[in-house]
Amino acid sequence: MNTWVIDGGQPLRGEIRVSGAKNSITKLLVASILSEQPSHFSNVPNIGDRDITQEMCAAVGATFSNTNGHSLRVSTPTISSNIISQELGGRNRLAIMLMGPLLHRTGKAVIPAAAGGDQIGPRPVDFHLQGIQRMGARVEIKDGNYIIQAADGLRGAEITLDYPSVTSTENLLMAASMARGRTIIQNAAIEPEVVDLVSYLQKMGAIIDYQVDRTFVVEGVETLNGASHRLLPDRIVAASLGAAAVATGGDVFVRNASQPDMLTFLNTLRRVGGKFEVQDDGIRFYADGPLKAIHLETSVHPGFMTDWQSPFLLLLTQAEGMSVVHETVFEDRFGYVAALQDMGAEIGLYDSCLGHRCRFASSSYKHSAVIKGPSKLRSAEVTVPDLRAGFTYLIAAIMAEGQSRVHGIDHITRGYENLEESLRSLGARIQPVQ
Ligand code: EPU
């Protein structure tokens, strides 16, 4: 059921377990196709984006067997097709990631140009395509598809990304792992999920050096083996729950939350006055005393993640004074603010950079927010615009006095496992309706 009725005014309390990262499993499944041999993954999240990516991999020949809900065996001895359908390509943003494996296995990849996923900015794939062209592939666009070909195989190249893009870095790392010679990727993303992919590729037999200045150096190898890999915990889910615990005035232990991947989030939470306690097997997040307004800018790792922005902004609606949030990763990631305004939050949006001058300085995108708190939130009827904003709406509805209706829950289950049961176990009063 895609609509939930939520009775708010209840702090979240209890314990919740976070499983593997969405933004890791999706790339690992694709990377497994580089090899003819099977791979095993554990700590796999049961989320919608995993299912979509499995379907995409199955469409090119991968088969899956589940040993239990959180582990998965994938095997692609032969490639049955190198074409991703428009329908599959439109369901998330992963289709373009198949270009490297398909080029290595068949010399060709046909990938829909229109991708799905969250509408949080234009989200072009020019870095991916320019990078693969430097590695010797030919790219043309025909009937709404990128036709990418490398009949003689890919060769190593020197590539400098204009911005440290996560999926471009991951895509080019996969392509470079089996290219002839050495590939240097400069200004690369170094997010923990990227390093998780590199760790898996290394287990498969890849040679990838990781230098201090955002540079990866990849020595191409001829074949890659299957491998076993345990996914890193989802630091976006963990932080969202942490922010939710504090914003609702509650106390939640997030089992498996990993401190090293969340240092910036934890520092920022401490500046605001939110409390946390790092334990051996997770992190306890709780509210104790008033919250203070802060200035915050999102950035690439190790900065404050853009995916932490919306739950944290919601938390800032409860802080005393004026907070500022400057979004510098995606130009259009405040689409959810209108609903929070309807619920009583005092938030102004601006197209100027309230912080350092970022790539969006001369655009008309409203990418800075000023939040005046604390605000008492009231219930509302809202429709989820994207995954992270959707989770924020749920928490806002849990915080608000009265009964809210949240439509479009399927956006959220793409990235949050067992959502209804988990939130209920923390005390949320949720009723799915037709
Ligand atoms: N960019 C380009 N050209 C490209 C690629 C990126 O201009 O070819 C720009 C983007 O438009 C954006 C910036 O570079 O302004 C950063 O984009 P990036 O490529 O890093 O983002 P992404 O790879 O599309 C991944 C995650 C996002 C997460 C970002 C940032 C996946 C599948 N998605 O997106 O996750 O927000 O990195 O960390 O890994 C989510 O999980 O809800 C989500 C949106």
Q: Rounded mean pLDDT of 30-37?
A: 98
Q: Which of the residues are catalytic?
A: 118
pLDDT in tens, 161-181: 999 999 999 999 999 999 999
Work out which ligand 1 atom sits closest to the CA atom of 167.
Answer: 23
Q: What is the pLDDT of residue 1?
A: 73
Beta strands in 187-306, from DSSP E residues, in sequence order: 207-211, 215-219, 228-230, 251-255, 275-279, 282-286, 291-292, 295-297
Q: Ligand 1: which residue has its CA nearest to atom 29? A: 166
The domain locations on the chain are: 3-18+233-433, 22-230
pTM for the model stands at 0.96
Measure Cα distances from 275 to 137, 250, 271, 284 in Å. Answer: 51, 10, 10, 8
pLDDT in tens, 371-391: 999 999 999 999 998 888 999
Q: What lines the ligand 1 site, CB under 6 Å?
A: 22-23, 26, 93, 118, 121, 123-128, 163, 165-168, 189, 191, 236, 305-307, 329-330, 387-388, 415
pLDDT in tens, 401-415: 999 999 999 889 889
Measure Cα distances from 299 to 24, 200, 304, 412 in Å. Answer: 19, 25, 5, 23
Sign of CA dihedral 144, 51, 124, 220: negative
Q: What is the pLDDT of residue 122?
A: 76
pLDDT at 67 exceeding the cut of 90: no
- In whole numbers, what is the pLDDT of the chain averaged over residues? 96
Higher per-residue pLDDT: 326 or 122:
326
Put the strands of the sheet holding 39-42 in their side by side order.
63-68, 71-75, 39-42, 228-230
Work out which ligand 1 atom sits closest to the CA atom of 330.
Answer: 15
**Domain 3-18+233-433 belongs in CATH node 3.40.50.300:** no
Work out which ligand 1 atom sits closest to the CA atom of 128.
Answer: 8
Q: What is the pLDDT of residue 99?
A: 97
Q: Ligand 1: which residue has its CA nearest to atom 25? A: 166
How far is the centre of ligand 1, averaged over its atoms, from the C-alpha of 315 (Å)? 24
Q: What is the pLDDT of residue 114?
A: 84
How far is the centre of ligand 1, averaged over its atoms, from the C-alpha of 167 (Å)? 6
How far is the centre of ligand 1, averaged over its atoms, from the C-alpha of 123 (Å)? 7
Domains 3-18+233-433 and 22-230 share a fold: yes
Work out which ligand 1 atom sits closest to the CA atom of 120.
Answer: 44
Q: What is the spatial distance between Cα 263 and Cα 255, in angstroms, rounded to a whole number?
A: 16
**Domain 22-230 belongs in CATH node 3.30.390.30:** no
pLDDT at 363 exceeding the cut of 90: yes
pLDDT in tens, 104-134: 999 999 999 987 777 777 788 999 999 999 9
Q: Which residues pair with 370 in a beta bridge?
A: 324, 348
Element (H, E) at 194: helix 192-204
pLDDT in tens, 1-19: 799 999 999 999 999 999 9
Q: Ligand 1: which residue has its CA nearest to atom 2? A: 124
Element (H, E) at 422: helix 419-425
